[in-house]
Structure 1
Amino acid sequence: MAFNVIKSGVLTLVQDLGRHGYQHLGVTTGGPMDEFAFRWGNALLSNHANAAQLEITFGMLTLEAQAPTSIAITGADLGATLNNKAILPWQTYAIKKGDVLTFNQPKLGLRAYLAVKGGLQITPVLGSVATVMREALGGLSGKGEKIQKGDILPFVATTEHQQRITPRLAIPNYEQQNIPMVMSYQFTTLSGLDRARLFCNEYAVTAASDRMGYRLSGEAIQGDKKGIISEGIAYGSIQLPNDGQPIVLLRDRQTIGGYPKMGCVTSFGGGLLAQKKPGDMINFQCLSLNQAEQERTRKMTQLSQLR
């Protein structure tokens, strides 16, 4: 049993929590751009945390159900409708055979997640179904292709359904401009003036932003280092290239690089950033490593309490 793809949308990808253990071979992790929205989708359905979902960027996706199931929608509000009736994200819905589910243009945020009871039944590549188009890995075909019209998205049919809604306090505020980050060991190479620029100025998300990284535009940060010996790149690294305009590296980032890195956005901060559209403004909020760990622990506890 499956969803039939009537309209494929702007960018619809199969994702799980990522392809881990291969970065030393140059294979990036992939995975959901908004990790906590993804995790809430599976939690609402009592799925395994790594069950495959759809990541829907900018909407314009239409699916027809070929069997009954239960779904959860989380993340951005893309103006979703079920049989032409408006529905809201962050909750579950019962689906019957023949139902038509549509995602329109963004109302709030950029990326929505569609989870199905039991997860999408897709064969993993290197232990994951996460789609990384640049590396031609994962997804429905295993070759890193985005979802296309006419694709069949298999799931295990069920009439089991439990109405669940994400607690209000656990739903992120996608209008929030503050993006939490922790400083790196290379932060000390910045002058006091550059540090002030980083935390006191706003940055605009540019059109040259994608799953690999978000390029920002604002007052340039020069720094004292113009390059370093290439080293491994962690998720959320804030790179400082020669033009002084920060680049935040995200799920489909390269595995090594030689630009100085001022710090890393947190996993939650990266999710907030991934919901921003070109032209949206952000600013960085500095957290200690301990504060960042406490933030993640609190959010994971909220998930475990639902389960």
Structure 2
Amino acid sequence: MTGLQVLQPGPLSLLQDGGRFGWQHLGVSPAGPLDLSAAAWANHLLGNHWGSPLLEVALGGLTLRSQVDTWVAVCGADLPISVDGLPRPNWSRFALHAGQQLHLGFARSGQRAYLAVAGGFTAPPQLGSVATQQREGIGGLHGDGRALQTGDLLRCASAALACVASVPWRYIPDYQQLALLRVITGGDALSFNEDQLQSFFAQHWSLSPQSNRMGARLCGTPLLAPALLPARQWSQGVSSGAIQVPGDGQPIILMADRQSMGGYPLLGWLHPLDLGRLAQVPAHHEVGFTAISLSDAQAELRCFYRFFRG
């Protein structure tokens, strides 16, 4: 099988799919795309199944040469897209013919773009998934957690679609606006003093450059975390979006490559669909938070999955 050859991999381009589930009891994180919405739109534009393998391209700088006649879709960070030097629109699908070069320039806003191909990329699964997890050295094109490298071949089949298509404008986020992220309070939230909870929601937090696919670290006026209850003598299971408050009072929001256990107090959980918006925030830029009820978050998530998964 032929596919797309990597001429320039960019700073960090990772093969991802819907995630690796069912192994967290052994400490294996789910991985998968950081921006679930952008990845879902890229696959949806091509008629791919939910979670079909695609590329997460951090910052841009990716160049591929096609060996097949196929169609691709790019969604996410605002970056220049071209085929043989001719521009192509973001949040859209378009044809890519054998011998042509596809180039993704560097992001003007946002941090991650998602490149899907009709039918999805093909790679040997590890523990049921091709999702790349660099820290654990699992998944990806070679099964060892490596990012894409020059000379790699992204295997895919030829495909033909009827015409170009784009995501409706109202569903395309503006990454230049302040990210106001929704939080489901819970966990140890009642153990925090009320003024500390108000401080979390009232201030704007800066995203630390130490953030990565494992966790987004916030910088701001420190929170005074409550002392853990004497009954808790061990760590507990954590999920993506969990907002941990370590001893320095600077919250950490767990992302796709997170650990599976944690002992820091939990203030709550970020709305699952807002994790993607957080993943598009550059270092040193500010984010804000607002509260949302569990029922409202669940209702929105049901609509999301009903649309993309059918």
Query: TM-score, normalization: structure 2?
Result: 0.95
- Give the equivalent residue in structure 1 for 2:277: 272
Tell me which amino acid in the other structure corresponds to 1:79: P
**In the TM superposition, what is the alpha-carbon distance from 1:257 to its structure 2 partner?**
0.9
160-169 or 213-222, larger mean C-alpha shift: 160-169
Match of 2:255 among 231, 239, 250: 250
Distance 1:302-1:170 versus aligned 2 partners, 3 A rule: farther
Aligned length: 305
- Give the equivalent residue in structure 1 for 2:207: 205
**In the TM superposition, what is the alpha-carbon distance from 1:299 to its structure 2 partner?**
3.0
- Give the equivalent residue in structure 1 for 2:113: 112
Distance 1:89-1:107 versus aligned 2 partners, 3 A rule: same
1:185 is paired with a residue whose SS is: coil
**In the TM superposition, what is the alpha-carbon distance from 1:161 to its structure 2 partner?**
4.2
- Give the equivalent residue in structure 1 for 2:130: 129
| 1:289 counterpart = 2:294 | yes
- Give the equivalent residue in structure 1 for 2:24: 23
- Give the equivalent residue in structure 2 for 1:160: 161
Q: Is the 8 A contact 1:226 1:241 kept in 2?
A: no
1:214 is paired with a residue whose SS is: strand
* CA offsets 1:219-258 (integer angstroms, 9 cap, x no match): 1001222685200011101110000000001000011011
Counterpart Cα distance in 1 of 2:214 and 2:60: 19
The unaligned stretches of length 5 or more in structure 1 are none
Q: Is the 8 A contact 1:121 1:155 kept in 2?
A: yes
Counterpart Cα distance in 2 of 1:131 and 1:20: 13
1:267 is paired with a residue whose SS is: coil
Aligned CA-pair RMSD = 1.4
- Give the equivalent residue in structure 2 for 1:178: 180
Counterpart Cα distance in 2 of 1:85 and 1:220: 49
Q: Is the 8 A contact 1:70 1:161 kept in 2?
A: no
Counterpart Cα distance in 2 of 1:159 and 1:282: 41
**What does residue range 68-107 of structure 1 map to in structure 2 within 5 Å?**
68-107=69-108
Counterpart Cα distance in 1 of 2:155 and 2:88: 23
Q: Is the 8 A contact 2:50 2:308 kept in 1?
A: no
- Give the equivalent residue in structure 1 for 2:227: 225
Counterpart Cα distance in 1 of 2:156 and 2:299: 36
2:188 is paired with a residue whose SS is: helix
Distance 1:298-1:173 versus aligned 2 partners, 3 A rule: farther
Counterpart Cα distance in 2 of 1:155 and 1:31: 19
Counterpart Cα distance in 1 of 2:88 and 2:159: 21
Tell me which amino acid in the other structure corresponds to 1:184: G
Q: Which runs of 4+ in 1 moved over 6 A?
A: none
